[in-house]
Structure 1
């Protein structure tokens, strides 16, 4: 049965003759693409199997608590302000973003605490307490982070890498900022102390990367955060999602929920629409997939001959880690716990080797604890706190039986939190739910349960990542975490803008001129 989401508007007007863009997936990337294409003049239909928009940025509502399912850290707020502007609105009319100060509290296994912020004087004072000689290294690291940012983010994050010629022209810039190095190797060049090396290299984990193999482009995050800050949305990140969804519908787009796409329809080497699980076929002038690229090519185009993203190539890819997430609410408040807390375990490289290389579920872990009620008490009943705690774990290639392991793992995390920053936690939990790599595979349709699609290594980035303009079919475009520029809220919004710039002008579709143009501009 077709179910039209509550964000859809009934169409009682004459038939809409605008070119039709069908978007697979109502994650942030898919919604942002739909909003931009609607503003550009397309008739937009967004399809998603969940009952609410958001994808990984879904919200769970349970027992009076609101839990953001996934992303909680908002950087580069101007990207969202520009999205609203280009769709004819103002973000401040729909969503309120507020800064976090400090950005995070970091707790090391020995109890050392570091408040990570954009205040350079405060940062240098804390660094000096750990290793005075590394204050100079902090300054030089920020200089290098800025140089990487100016190339990798300002110049290249919003440009499509579907052309070998463009890639060749930018190669010198990529080499100049050291993209062949890992994040950890760059950080280690500036810092002597192991704690500080961990502190300034962990950021790739927020987007599915291993600091020991992720390209050093991701060192730009330090400058990005320092320049624009770390923010949260009042009402949770899903309030930002709902705002972007409203941009889609106010320009006449439709968001159809509880609708799963099972195949991209093709004719020759062109995408012509999609087929739903119900059997309904929806014709389209262009198709945009916000799904995991491996799912797009390996499932939605499984019957279509593919030249680059074959089943064998998909199987050889290195996929990101997955996540174990425990959402819980307490009947008391923990007012000394910040909005964002990182709790590092006893091992760093060894744990990451277990997750990314050995594909082994380790006995120890590092955790990210999210307490949104530190900033927005409305997300829990009065006097209560809402939390989620996230642990990086191997994806489903590990063979872990999560039906047997999940509760034991949750209890270990509960004890760790209780022993460190949430005393008496077990006595105060009043609501609880978990998500494992199986949920990422079955609910979010992520390949191998990987939480962030392909791992962001050098040879799985830029030109080597699935292109925003498909190499396999005309009229097919990709947005979201699995394509260029990568995961994270800034990355998926940038991917939406790339797609909006790549698609043909609706007027050329109506005139019939676009097919010849598309053939000339096809990815090499």
Structure 2
């Protein structure tokens, strides 16, 4: 029998879940509070410039292929991919940088020029990372986080020690050069925790980086959003925007509908891909699975200060993706996780999509996206935003040896307060809840409500964790749970 399923939010996990649920024969409707779909992966356009507002790294292409193959489709049916070379550049000082190329042999050569003997060590390290990747991404992450037994397999038993050591210590046992160490520690930042707090098993992110490479959808990450939206509509999914949820209706401990703009909308199943903590505030307190004390005790991934900038000239000495590690990596991490505050000297990331995609900026111009990781929940003011833009743009000019401040046509900032306003993000977090040992798999908030029947969750605060590929997987996992419940 066809069931009506109401999905809250239209981020990657919601869109993915909608496809699976529609494929099962359900009537699926997505309700998005904003005027555009995509959640954090929305797109911003102004004066001929185009920006992805959130995710800008396309890693783990195999996860995307696996998603589309579940519907007998390929990614190429919906968007075109370009492999970046160099994948990215890491700046350590003035005209002092390391390029990470698009294949392991070239990266080994780069490592060898910096630290003698590190090329062969890197190959062994990446081989181990690939072994972990095969276990994690092809198996463990496709488990719904219901039981600790999900983590116990013959393969993980052989790697048990890697769950009790950390990424940073493992890397430092093998490499001595601080630059190489920082490059190898960088990928786990996508998991939202310090390398010293991330289990060694998660070094599979290094294989995602050096083994599988960095890709770019032809006109940006929003291509992927559009692609999954197209698949969803082909499967019969309906999407309504400007539809902010005011309440989840619960009768006899069962979710029966939602209220939008004072209107009651009945549904057999409610699935929220919106912020988990916010979703529970749409319930009466008696129906909430997690208390405010619970959320306060969690380790959250960073928030971010973002700038979307239009330049009236081409920017030199820069690649599509660039990381600026010319300041103390550990101090910035401490300012996020240990004693949360605005960092005195922030690391930052810059992305110039117009280096790859000419349509991202008018001819002869450049679109630039800048990101500073910040602690969630800190003070956010326009004055602080301006102060920090001045800090990073001054360093950018020094490190790339060019003047660009006077070539800015416009800039738009987006920070903690905007994450709260636009996404109802707890403490304005940008990446969800960190993947620390005590927040992994079955220790994360559950896909299925513990107190309300027919209420489910998906996305970065639940299983398997932060990032776009995990979001697609989260959508699949919750759809399978819903399917099982409807069959029982």
With normalisation by structure 1, the TM-score equals 0.88
Pick the aligned partner of 1:418 from 394, 397, 419.
397
Contact 1:118 1:225 in 2 (8 A): no
Distance in structure 2 (CA, Å) of the matches to 1:174 and 1:294: 36
Post-superposition CA distance 1:120-147 (Å, at most 9, x none): 2221221122211323331231122122
Aligned residues: 488
Which 10-residue stretch deviates more, 182-191 or 363-372?
182-191
Distance in structure 1 (CA, Å) of the matches to 2:257 and 2:218: 37
Could you tell me which residue of structure 1 aligns to residue 306 of structure 2? Answer: 325
Could you tell me which residue of structure 1 aligns to residue 107 of structure 2? Answer: 123
Distance in structure 2 (CA, Å) of the matches to 1:391 and 1:114: 20
User: 1:137 and 2:121 equivalent?
Assistant: yes
User: 1:303 and 2:303 equivalent?
Assistant: no
Matches for 1:71-150 after TM superposition, within 5 Å = 71-87=55-71, 89-109=73-93, 111-150=95-134
Pick the aligned partner of 1:339 from 313, 316, 320.
320
Contact 2:308 2:411 in 1 (8 A): yes
Could you tell me which residue of structure 2 aligns to residue 486 of structure 1? Answer: 465
Post-superposition CA distance 1:94-115 (Å, at most 9, x none): 2111111221111113653111
Contact 2:271 2:456 in 1 (8 A): yes
Could you tell me which residue of structure 1 aligns to residue 362 of structure 2? Answer: 381
Matches for 1:392-407 after TM superposition, within 5 Å = 392-396=373-377, 398=378, 400-407=379-386
Matches for 1:146-225 after TM superposition, within 5 Å = 146-167=130-151, 173=157, 176=160, 178-225=162-209
Could you tell me which residue of structure 1 aligns to residue 267 of structure 2? Answer: 284
Q: How far off is 1:302 after superposition? A: 4.5
Task: Summarize the Cα distance change of 1:378–1:228 in structure 2 as closer, same or farther, 3 Å threshold.
Answer: same
Could you tell me which residue of structure 1 aligns to residue 387 of structure 2? Answer: 408
What RMSD in Å do the two structures reach over aligned CA positions?
2.1
Which 10-residue stretch deviates more, 219-228 or 155-164?
219-228
Post-superposition CA distance 1:169-217 (Å, at most 9, x none): 6895385261222221222122111111111011122342222212333
Question: Unpaired runs of 5+ in structure 1?
Answer: 1-16, 518-524
Contact 1:151 1:177 in 2 (8 A): no
User: 1:41 and 2:22 equivalent?
Assistant: no
Could you tell me which residue of structure 1 aligns to residue 257 of structure 2? Answer: 273
Task: Summarize the Cα distance change of 1:99–1:177 in structure 2 as closer, same or farther, 3 Å threshold.
Answer: farther
Post-superposition CA distance 1:22-51 (Å, at most 9, x none): 111101111111112111211111111111
Task: Summarize the Cα distance change of 1:262–1:414 in structure 2 as closer, same or farther, 3 Å threshold.
Answer: same
Question: Unpaired runs of 5+ in structure 2?
Answer: none
With normalisation by structure 2, the TM-score equals 0.94
Secondary structure at the counterpart of residue 365 of structure 1: coil
Contact 2:434 2:466 in 1 (8 A): no
Contact 2:57 2:216 in 1 (8 A): yes
Secondary structure at the counterpart of residue 368 of structure 1: strand
Distance in structure 1 (CA, Å) of the matches to 2:400 and 2:250: 55
Distance in structure 1 (CA, Å) of the matches to 2:191 and 2:51: 19
User: 1:458 and 2:437 equivalent?
Assistant: yes
Distance in structure 2 (CA, Å) of the matches to 1:421 and 1:282: 55
Q: How far off is 1:474 after superposition? A: 2.3
Distance in structure 2 (CA, Å) of the matches to 1:142 and 1:168: 23
Distance in structure 2 (CA, Å) of the matches to 1:39 and 1:421: 50
Could you tell me which residue of structure 2 aligns to residue 353 of structure 1? Answer: 334
Distance in structure 1 (CA, Å) of the matches to 2:155 and 2:338: 28
Could you tell me which residue of structure 2 aligns to residue 13 of structure 1? Answer: none
Contact 1:269 1:472 in 2 (8 A): yes
Task: Summarize the Cα distance change of 1:226–1:193 in structure 2 as closer, same or farther, 3 Å threshold.
Answer: closer
User: 1:294 and 2:273 equivalent?
Assistant: no
Post-superposition CA distance 1:429-472 (Å, at most 9, x none): 11210111111111111100111121221101111111223333
